DNA sequence: GGTCAAATAT
DNA sequence: AATATTTGAC
């Protein structure tokens, strides 16, 4: 990802640049507010044309789209985690800032910034990755078998070193499976399977990993004791060794988590509260916090917030706690959620259609597949990985930005039409302060779930072209000619 | 306490 | 190598 900048003192240069960078989403910013110029830029492939006084809103808007874009891309690639995206965006930010700094607006007439995205981002239609969803769902089923739905199991393995005797470090792992009524307060007994994870003489660092499978893998045998494992019933808490326990977020546990989060409202879900609602002792705030962190990262639903003010949209009173997150994606405008129930716009995590599907098992209506891998290491009883999900993950086969929303901030607002010559109100407006830029970008990045401002609807090519011809600018390379 | 991000563990 | 969790810092 990078920002490329081209500053020219004459619009012609800019146009040239635009043409050169057709395939790169380019945003033109200029203090020239001539419809003609704008049209031309758009026609030449600019994704947006912003009038020079770059307001905070405009910036935010742009960045939100960038972030969305980035996230979308990330989502399509299953393995891709959010972080990288974030990083790249951040790096972009730096460049951006740098750019902004260097910017010498005095002379420049037109300046354009192009938001380029990694070349590899192009998705090859051929090989997609749709495994996640299906597997996920499938897994669910598998689990249902053992748990008998209403029982939740919390598994955590405690690893404690046997006595202090350093002689031979023998550590064993205790896997405690406690069951508890889903929502009931009761604290049922729990089974504790102790697995001796004997570690040979400490000397040879080679800890024979022969050790019994920690919970992860043969989870399958929830019900059966594992080979080496021996079952004992104990009063849970007591032996809840105070060592490091790794919480195993089983689907059930996760489900609870999600329910709690939803009850609170995603935006108000904070670790402590969630923990309360979950009523799962044995879990620490940190555990929840961590999970929450992960949770938030995955679902990047756009969620209304005070951010709305800027985007005169009528969602005022929406108790946006639940899933009003019908993402107002600027991105793939094509299908609205109902078209293809299963085709996620946000390939992986976005709150997309398919509510019902996931609803039952995860009680998560809007969040698609939670953790793909997590699902995997529990072997579903029923073999085959059949794509239960059956979701034809359709990756954006087209240029990622193909539908990049135009008109970030009232592109076609009357104001700009008449306003042929912008007059810098405040130096600030013309040149957003670095802090502002930083702040805005950061905000956007940090809250990917915020609603995408404005329905940035792409200016219809037709209208633009029409207008252009009307203006006598017809010698412009047709938009459609290039992949833009 | 909440968040974030680095460090670990798997 | 990629994730899932845990730790620690802020």
Write out pLDDT tens, residues A149-200.
333 333 433 333 333 333 333 333 333 333 333 333 333 333 333 333 333 3
Give chain C positions with protein CB within 7 A: 2-8
Å: A374 CA to C4 C1': 8
Contacts of A209 (CB under 8 A, 6+ apart): none
Q: How far is the CA of A452 from the C1' of C2 (A)?
A: 30
Q: What is the tens place of the pLDDT at every residue in A239-290? A: 444 566 788 898 888 888 988 888 888 888 999 889 888 888 888 889 999 9
- The pLDDT-based confidence of A66 (bands split at 50, 70, 90) is low
Q: With bands split at pLDDT 50, 70 and 90, how would you rate the model's confidence at A297?
A: confident
Which residues have Cβ atoms closer than 7 angstroms to strand B? A 86, 159, 214, 216, 246, 270-273, 285, 289-290, 292-293, 296, 446
Confidence band (pLDDT; 50, 70, 90) for A30?
low
Q: Is residue A439 over pLDDT 90?
A: no
> Is there contact between A335 and strand C, defined as CB under 7 Å from any strand atom?
no
Closest nucleotide to the alpha carbon of A294, via C1': C4
The spacing between the Cα labelled CA in A355 and the C1' in C7, in angstroms, equals 35
- Protein residue with the closest CA to the C1' atom of nucleotide B8: A246
Distance A211 CA to C1 C1' (A): 23
Give the nucleotide with minimal C1' distance to the Cα of A292: B3
Distance CA(A463)–CA(A465), nearest Å, equals 5
Instruction: Give the contacts of A148 (CB within 8 A, at least 6 positions apart).
Output: none
The separation, in Å, between residue A290 CA and nucleotide C8 C1' comes to 13
Question: Mean per-residue pLDDT for A73-79?
Answer: 41
Q: Which nucleotide is nearest to A83 (CA to C1')?
A: B5
**Which residue is listed with tokens 């492939």?**
A45
Confidence tier at A451 by pLDDT (50, 70, 90) = low
Between CA A49 and CA A59, with CA A55 as vertex, the angle to 5 degrees is 65
Q: Report the candidate in A368, A370, A333, A374 with the shortest Cα–Cα distance to residue A354.
A: A368
Query: With left for phi above 0 and alpha for psi between -120 and 50, is residue A200 left, alpha or beta?
Result: beta
Mean pLDDT of A64-79: 53
Which nucleotide is closest to A216, CA to C1'? B10
pLDDT score of A148: 31
A160 touches strand C (CB under 7 A): no
- Match 């419809």 to its residue by tokens: A35
Q: Grade residue A453 by pLDDT with cuts at 50, 70 and 90.
A: low
pLDDT digits (tens, 9 = 90+) for A302-339: 444 344 444 444 343 333 333 333 333 333 333 333 33
Confidence of residue A444 (pLDDT cuts 50, 70, 90): low
Across the beta sheet with A190-195, the strand order is A230-234, A190-195, A171-181, A151-161, A244-248
Give strand pairing partners of A174: A158, A194
DSSP, collapsed to helix, strand or coil, labels residue A458 as coil
């Amino acid at each position: 990802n990078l920002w490329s900048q081209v500053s020219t003192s004459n619009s012609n240069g800019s146009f040239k640049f635009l043409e050169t960078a057709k395939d790169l989403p380019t945003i033109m910013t200029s203090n020239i507010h001539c419809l003609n110029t704008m049209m031309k830029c758009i026609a030449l492939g600019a994704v947006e044309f912003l009038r020079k006084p770059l307001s905070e809103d405009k910036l935010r808007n742009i960045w939100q789209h960038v972030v969305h874009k980035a996230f979308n891309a990330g989502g399509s690639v299953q393995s891709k985690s959010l972080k990288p995206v974030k990083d790249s965006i951040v790096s972009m930010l730096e460049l951006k800032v740098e750019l902004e700094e260097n910017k010498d607006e005095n002379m420049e007439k037109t300046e354009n910034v192009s938001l380029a995205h990694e070349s590899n981002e192009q998705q090859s239609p051929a090989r997609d990755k749709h495994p996640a969803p299906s597997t996920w769902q499938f897994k669910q089923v598998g689990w249902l078998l053992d748990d008998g739905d209403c029982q939740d199991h919390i598994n955590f393995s405690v690893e404690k070193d046997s006595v202090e005797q350093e002689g031979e470090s023998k550590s064993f792992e205790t896997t405690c499976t406690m069951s508890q009524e889903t929502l009931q307060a009761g604290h049922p007994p729990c089974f504790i399977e102790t697995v001796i994870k004997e570690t040979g003489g400490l000397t040879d660092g080679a800890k024979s990993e022969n050790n019994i499978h920690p919970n992860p893998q043969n989870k399958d045998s929830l019900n059966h004791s594992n080979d080496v494992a021996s079952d004992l019933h104990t009063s849970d808490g007591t032996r809840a060794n105070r060592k490091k326990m790794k919480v195993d977020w089983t689907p059930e546990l996760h489900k609870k988590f999600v329910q709690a989060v939803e009850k609170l409202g995603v935006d108000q879900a904070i670790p402590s509260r969630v923990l309360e609602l979950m009523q799962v002792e044995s879990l620490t705030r940190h555990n929840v916090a961590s999970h929450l962190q992960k949770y938030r990262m995955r679902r990047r639903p756009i969620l209304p917030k005070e951010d709305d003010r800027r985007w005169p949209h009528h969602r005022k009173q929406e108790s946006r706690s639940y899933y009003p997150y019908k993402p107002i994606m600027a991105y793939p405008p094509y299908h609205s959620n109902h078209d293809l129930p299963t085709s996620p716009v946000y390939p992986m995590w976005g709150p997309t259609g398919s509510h019902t599907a996931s609803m039952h098992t995860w009680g998560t209506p809007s969040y698609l597949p939670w953790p793909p891998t997590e699902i995997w290491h529990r072997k579903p009883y029923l073999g085959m990985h059949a794509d239960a999900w059956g979701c034809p993950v359709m990756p954006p086969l087209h240029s990622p930005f193909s539908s990049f929303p135009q008109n970030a901030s009232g592109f076609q607002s009357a104001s700009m039409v008449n306003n042929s010559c912008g007059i810098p109100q405040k130096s600030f407006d013309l040149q957003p302060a670095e802090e502002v830029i930083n702040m805005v970008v950061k905000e956007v990045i940090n809250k990917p779930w915020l609603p995408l401002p404005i329905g940035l609807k792409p200016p219809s090519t037709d209208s633009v072209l029409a207008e252009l011809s009307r203006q006598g600018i017809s010698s412009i390379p047709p938009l459609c000619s290039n992949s833009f």
